[in-house]
């Protein structure tokens, strides 16, 4: 069971790592990102419980508004915020962050740390069937969120190197908001348990996977060098 929880993350990490064509990232840095990403699973769960009880108090648990707020403003925001904070704090000024594609590798590593521990916790009380479903949908879902986060984050770092603060700030915001929207929509569709939204989910899942795969391959081929900023 443990292997089923960990294997999808290892496979996806290996794929992303292989596409980092020019300069592999330091193992110590990647392990730190993975470990801290896993830690955000716990912090997100605690924050979701605390804020969820306050924000959703008195609301109809079956109502569409409840499901909307829970998935977008609580689950997606808490989980993606944790990943984003780890990513920014650990890598923004790290000397190894010298290519735009590095941002994708970092973001995916953080997300896979989160997804791996989340998988293990889910499988403590669930079956092998749950492991297989999460291997196909949940873990790749976290990677999709991370690729978009990494794309905008890398663009922000590139802009910062050229002192374009407006472009930097815009892309840093997008690095957080876009994954939240994708993550929230993913969870919202499934949480409704309505056939129409389940159908929308599958169409969305196919579309976003194709779009993300193309974007990922393109980013790996056209990654730009981030010039070192002069020391003040």
Question: Which pLDDT tens digit goes with each residue over 179-198?
Answer: 999 999 999 999 998 999 99
Task: Report d(CA 86, CA 158) in Å as an integer.
Answer: 19
Write down the mean pLDDT value for the chain: 92
pLDDT band, very low/low/confident/very high, at 55 (cuts 50, 70, 90): confident
Task: Report d(CA 151, CA 219) in Å as an integer.
Answer: 8
Task: Report d(CA 147, CA 19) in Å as an integer.
Answer: 13
Q: Which two three-digit tokens encode residue 153?
A: 């984050």
The CA-CA-CA angle for residues 197, 80, 131, to 5°, reads: 60
Asked whether the beta carbons of 184 and 76 are under 8 A apart, the reply is yes
**Structure confidence by residue, pLDDT tens digits, 85-137:** 999 999 999 999 999 999 999 999 999 999 999 888 887 776 677 667 777 78
**Structure confidence by residue, pLDDT tens digits, 214-228:** 999 999 999 899 988
Q: What is the pLDDT of residue 106?
A: 98
pTM of the model: 0.94
**Structure confidence by residue, pLDDT tens digits, 36-53:** 999 999 999 999 888 887
pLDDT band, very low/low/confident/very high, at 232 (cuts 50, 70, 90): very low
DSSP tag of 126: S
């Amino acid at each position: 069971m443990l292997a089923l929880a960990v294997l999808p993350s290892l496979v996806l990490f290996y794929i992303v790592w292989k596409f980092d064509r020019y300069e592999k990232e330091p193992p110590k840095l990647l392990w730190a990102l993975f470990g801290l990403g896993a830690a955000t699973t716990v912090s997100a769960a605690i924050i979701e419980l605390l804020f969820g009880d306050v924000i959703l108090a008195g609301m109809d648990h079956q109502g569409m508004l409840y499901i909307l707020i829970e998935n977008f403003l609580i689950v997606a925001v808490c989980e993606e915020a944790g990943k984003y904070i780890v990513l920014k704090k650990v890598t923004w000024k790290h000397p190894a962050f010298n290519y735009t594609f590095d941002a994708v590798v970092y973001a995916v590593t953080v997300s896979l740390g989160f997804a791996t521990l989340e998988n293990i916790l889910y499988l403590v009380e669930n079956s092998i069937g749950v492991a297989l479903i999460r291997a196909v949908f949940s873990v790749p879902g976290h990677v999709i969120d991370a690729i978009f986060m990494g794309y905008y984050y890398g663009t922000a770092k590139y802009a910062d190197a050229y002192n374009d603060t407006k472009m930097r700030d815009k892309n840093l915001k997008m690095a957080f908001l876009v994954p939240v929207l994708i993550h929230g929509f993913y969870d919202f569709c499934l949480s409704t348990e309505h056939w129409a939204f389940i159908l929308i989910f599958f169409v969305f899942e196919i579309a976003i996977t194709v779009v993300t795969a193309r974007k990922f391959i393109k980013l790996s081929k056209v990654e730009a060098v981030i010039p070192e900023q002069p020391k003040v």
